[in-house]
Structure 1
Amino acid sequence: MNILFVADPLATFKIYKDTTFAMMRELQRRGHAVAACEPQHMQWQSGQPVSALVRRITLTGDASDWYHVEHQGREALRDFDAVLMRKDPPFDSEFFYATHLLEQAEREGARVFNSPRALRDHPEKLALMEFAQYAPPTLVTRSPEAIRHFHTEQQDIILKPLDGMGGTGIFRVGPDGMNLGAIIETLNQGGATSVMVQRYLPEIAAGDKRLLLIGGQVAPFVLARIPQGGEVRGNLAAGGKGVAQPLTDADRRVAEAIAPTLAERGLLLVGLDMIGNRVTEINVTSPTCFQEIHDQTGFDVPAMFVDALEAALA
């Protein structure tokens, strides 16, 4: 099969931990051809199919020079067996427009994963609100007054921007309300920007767990991202320590309650974030942690993913 990745620039990949790289490596190991482009390389001209300036690559196995470009040229997305949308957040206007081009490519016959419509319909912070019974008390609002009222009710809260990633812009405010006004001003920008507020979960000390839902199934290991020092954030990008752990029965019950619904909507790969037994985010744009789990447990997450992709294309 010919597989096209729509992703960040290849030169920016940290291949020792990059999940998209792990997908590419497993696909090539099975004899599939790999190509890549960036969202900015896609275009749609009237009367023509959606196309992209594509680089067909071979992975070399050399960490210092990990890919070789075999061919570069403009190709229609519908001519690939699958298109994998792996652009990292933020989910900004350009990401939004890219999903529209990908959806048009679908109408022309392309198979796109995750589904462009599902990407638009499941913004990563807001998506959990559909499954509120599994989430901590959560508020999404532009209103400073509503945030203050929520803090009065919950006492200990986490505030974060809706478009953040990697733990950026996350604040904790305890019962004393210290700096709540300044934090609201920073995140809310005078009422122009929505903010997500959640009750603080002390179980974060044991880690912010990343569960992987692949083809509607739950991977048997999770990556617990454990805050270090005085941090409240477990995100690896914020200095958290990633520790792979077996999936618990409690986590499995929550994940298996959510996974089929998301899979039916065209979400082949989902990163479900849990603290304790509560879901805090549902990540659908470019979920990660494949290599960390594989390296620590031996469980081949990339193989599970490619199995699911091949089954979806069969």
Structure 2
Amino acid sequence: MNILFVADPLDTFKIYKDSTFAMMSELQRRGHSVAAALVEDISWRSGGEVMAQVRHIRLTGDTQRWYDLVSEEILPLHQFDAVLMRKDPPFDSEYFYATHLLQQAEREGAKVFNSPQALREHPEKLALMEFGGYAPPTLVTRSAAALKAFHAEHGDIILKPLDGMGGMGIFRVGSNGMNLGSIVETLNQGGQSSVMVQAYLPEIEKGDKRILVINGEAAPFCLARIPQGNEVRGNLAAGGKGVAQPLSESDWAIARALGPVLASRGLLLVGLDVIGDKVTEINVTSPTCFQEITDQTGFDVPAMFVDALEKSLTH
């Protein structure tokens, strides 16, 4: 099969931990061909098809020069057996427009994972609203007064922007309310931007667990991202330590409740973020942690993913 990845620039990949790289490696190992394109390389013209400037590559196995460019050409997206949308957030206007281009490619016969429509309908913070029974106390609002009232009610809170990733823009405000006003002004930009605020969960000390759900089924191990030092964020990008561990009973219960629902909507790969027994985010754009879980446990997450992809393309 020929598989196209819509992703960030290849030369920015940190291949020792990159999940997209792990997918590419497993696909090539099975004899499939791999190509890559940037979101900005996708275009449509009336009377024509959704096209992209694509780079056909071959992975070398070298940690320095990890790929060779085989060829480069402009092709319709539907000529590929699958298109994997792996562009990292932010989920901004350009990302939104890209999902429309990819949906048009679907109309022309392309098979896109995750589904462009599902990506639009499940922004990573707000997708939690549908499953509020599994969430900690949470508020989404532009109102500074409402944010301050939430703090008064819960005492210890986490505030975050709706379009961040990797822990960017996340703040904790404790019971003393230190800097609450300044943080609210920074995040809601004078009432122009919505903010998510959640009650602080002390279980974060044991890690912010990333549960990978592939075609509705959870991988049996998660990655607990444990904050280090005085840092409140467990995100690996923010210096958290990743420790793979078996799913707990509550982890399995969450995955079994949410996984099939999300898979039925065209979300082949989902990353559930869980602290204790509460879901804090539902990641659908480019969930990670494949390599960390595989390296620490021996469970082959890339193989599980490619198995699911191959099954989706042959049924």
TM over 0.5: yes
| Alignment-derived partner of residue 200 in structure 2 | 200
The C-alpha deviation readout for 1:271-293, integer Å capped at 9, x for no partner, is 00000000000000000000000
Following the alignment from structure 1 to structure 2, what is the Cα–Cα distance between the partners of residues 240 and 275? 14
Map of 1:121 onto structure 2: 121
- Match in the other structure for 1:175: 175
Deviation by residue 1:184-220 (Cα, 9 ceiling, x = unmatched)? 0010100000000000000000000000000110000
| Cα offsets for 1:117-161 (capped at 9, x unmatched) | 000000000101110000001000000011111111111100000
Counterpart CA distance in 1 for 2:254 and 2:76 is 40
| Structure 1 partner of 2:49 | 49
Partner-residue secondary structure (3-state), 2:292 = helix
Give the partner amino acid of 1:107: R
When the two chains are superposed, the root-mean-square deviation of aligned CA atoms in Å is 0.5
- Aligned match of 1:96: 96
TM-score by length of 2: 0.99
Whole-angstrom CA distance in 1 between matches of 2:201 and 2:173: 12
Q: Any idea what the Cα deviations from partners look like across 1:57-82, whole Å, max 9, x if unmatched?
A: 11010111011111100000000000
Alignment of structure 1 residues 213-228 onto 2, 5 Å = 213-228=213-228
Alignment partner, residue 74 of structure 2: 74
Cα distance in 1 for partners of 2:57, 2:152 equals 55
Question: Secondary structure at 2:100's aligned position in 1?
Answer: helix
Identity of aligned residues (%): 74
Residue of structure 1 equivalent to 2:108: 108
Instruction: Specify the alignment match of 1:155 in structure 2.
Output: 155
The CA distance in 1 between the partners of 2:175 and 2:151, in whole Å, is 8
The one-letter code sitting in structure 2 at the alignment partner of 1:85 is: M
Cα deviation for residue 255 of structure 1 reads: 1.1
What residue is the counterpart of 1:11 in the other structure?
11
**CA deviations over 1:8-52 (Å, ceiling 9, x no partner):** 000000000000000000000000010000000000011111010
Structure 1, residues 248-287: CA drift from partner, whole Å, max 9, x if none? 1111001110001100000000000000000000000000
Return the alpha-carbon distance in structure 1 between the equivalents of residues 15 and 188 of structure 2. Answer: 36
Q: Counterpart amino acid of 1:84?
A: L
Tell me, what secondary structure is at the counterpart of 2:309? helix
- Give the structure 2 partner of residue 305 of structure 1: 305
Amino acid at match of 1:283: N
SS, match of residue 158 in structure 1: strand
Partner Cα separation in structure 2 for residue 249 and residue 145 of structure 1: 38
- 2:9 is aligned with what amino acid? P
Task: Name the SS of the counterpart of 1:190 in structure 2.
Answer: helix
Structure 2: how far apart are the matches of 1:112 and 1:300? Answer: 23
The residue type equivalent to 1:98 in the other structure is A
Q: Distance in 2 between matches of 1:59 and 1:168?
A: 31
Runs of 4+ residues over 2 Å off in structure 1: none
* Paired letter, 1:230: N
Q: Deviation at 1:107? A: 0.3
Question: What is the correspondence of 1:55-66 to structure 2 with a 5 Å cutoff?
Answer: 55-66=55-66
SS at match of 1:189: helix
CA distance in 2, matches of 1:58, 1:174: 50
Structure 1 runs not aligned, ≥5 long: none
